[in-house]
């Protein structure tokens, strides 16, 4: 019998990167293409998750653009900020 790990354990180890996200601030945790256009998953500082598209609002910011590895958000004062996906 071999000493190989189950596929789920290997996937979990590869998908888990310690301290990849600052948990006390807004973060982008996923970007995807859908039949309705690009979408993003945002995580709030409270741990809430929102799926948003361009023009939609979540956590006090509006999504102004979604790229391959980042999202542009505009706050209520008109300031635009880019958030990038965490690196592995």
Residue 12 sits in a domain whose CATH number is 2.30.30
* Residue 79, domain extent: 7-84
Domain annotation covers residue 59 = yes
Whole-model pTM over 0.85: no
Whether 76 maps to a domain, the answer reads yes
CB count in 10 Å sphere of residue 65: 14
Other beta carbons less than 10 A from residue 64's beta carbon? 14
Give residue 12's pLDDT.
Answer: 64
Q: Kindly state whether residue 29 falls inside one of the protein's structural domains.
A: yes
**Residues in contact with 50: Cβ distance below 8 Å, sequence separation at least 6, in sequence order:** 41, 42, 44, 58, 59
**Who wins on pLDDT, 85 or 65?**
65
Segment 29-49, tens digit of pLDDT? 889 998 889 999 999 999 999
pLDDT at residue 36 in the model:
87
Whether 27 is covered by a domain: the verdict is: yes
Does a structural domain hold residue 2? no
User: Which pLDDT score is estimated for 10?
Assistant: 62
Distances 64 to 8, 32, 56 between C-alpha atoms, Å: 36, 15, 8
Mean pLDDT computed over 1-14:
61
* Overall number of domains in the chain: 1
Is pLDDT at 17 greater than 70 in this prediction? no
């Amino acid at each position: 019998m071999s000493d190989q790990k189950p596929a789920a354990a290997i996937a979990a180890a590869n998908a888990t990167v310690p301290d990849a996200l600052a948990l006390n601030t807004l973060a982008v945790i996923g970007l995807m293409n859908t039949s309705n256009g690009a979408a993003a998953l945002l995580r709030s500082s409270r741990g809430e998750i929102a799926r948003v598209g361009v023009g939609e609002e979540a956590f006090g910011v509006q999504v102004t653009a979604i790229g391959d590895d980042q999202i542009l958000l505009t706050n209520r004062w008109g300031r635009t900020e880019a958030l990038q996906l965490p690196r592995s």
